Amino acid sequence: MTVTPPEIDRLEDRPLWSRHANPWSVWTLVAVYPVLVLSIYRRSRPLLAGTLLFVALNPFLVSPPETDEAWATRAVLGERIWIDRGLRSSSHTRFVVACAPVYVFTLRSATERRPARTAVGTVISVVLMLVFFWRMVGVYEEERDRCRTSFRR
């Protein structure tokens, strides 16, 4: 018998979250971030519109994952737990706030058409995104282990 955190069981009531937990959704959204930056850098309205449309439709293009085996799935599920717990006074919230200037720097560099800064900012932004995912996988696994421990008692 698999024991999952209560927050995960409630995902069925949240169709966008359950579909976004599909690894295809996660990785395509990670891949689209540089395209978003490029659309701003080039001032390409069609590319920006297409990128934003893809982001909006992304969760509807995939089905919910069948298991939590994929690292990306656990990252999204951990994020859902983190949000459900409340964002205030959390080291994860402080991390997100600390990363925000990098994203602002990247987007500003793109609007100013500074190629080196835009490229470096984009790479650092994606790395920070992956670090955030890693943290959220930790949240998910801690909650899953806590639920398994309480189930055994």
Classify each residue of 103-140 as buried b or exposed e, where b means 16 or more C-beta atoms within 10 Å of its C-beta. Answer: bebbbebbeeeeeeebbebbeebbebbeebbebbbebb
Output DSSP code: residue 13: G
pLDDT at 53 over 80: yes
Those residues with Cβ within 8 angstroms of residue 131's Cβ, 6 or more apart along the chain or in another chain:
95
Rounded distance, CA 47 to CA 28, Å? 16
pLDDT tens-digit map of 83-106: 888 877 689 999 999 999 999 999
Which phi and psi angles does 61 have, rounded to 5°? -90, -10
pTM here is: 0.85
Neighbours of 11 (CB within 10 A): 21
Compute the distance between CA of residue 22 and CA of residue 20 in angstroms, rounded to an integer. Answer: 5
User: What's the confidence (pLDDT) of residue 3?
Assistant: 41
* Structural contact between residues 99 and 132, judged by C-beta atoms closer than 8 angstroms: yes
What pLDDT digit, counting tens, does each position of 67-83 carry?
999 999 999 999 999 98
**pLDDT band, very low/low/confident/very high, at 2 (cuts 50, 70, 90):** very low
Can you tell me the distance from the alpha carbon of 127 to that of 144, in angstroms, rounded to the nearest whole number? Answer: 26
Q: E strands along the chain, which residues?
A: none
**Range scoring the smallest mean pLDDT among 21-30, 48-57, 81-90, 96-105:** 81-90
Supply the pLDDT for residue 4: 52
- For the chain, the domains span 6-152
pLDDT score recorded for residue 149: 73
Mean pLDDT of the 124-141 span = 97
Distance, CA of 45 to CA of 42 (rounded, Å)? 9
- pLDDT score recorded for residue 84: 87
Tell me the C-alpha to C-alpha distance, in Å, between residue 92 and each of 75, 82, 133.
Answer: 13, 8, 10
What's the pLDDT at 12?
A: 55
Q: Which of helix, strand or coil describes residue 133?
A: helix
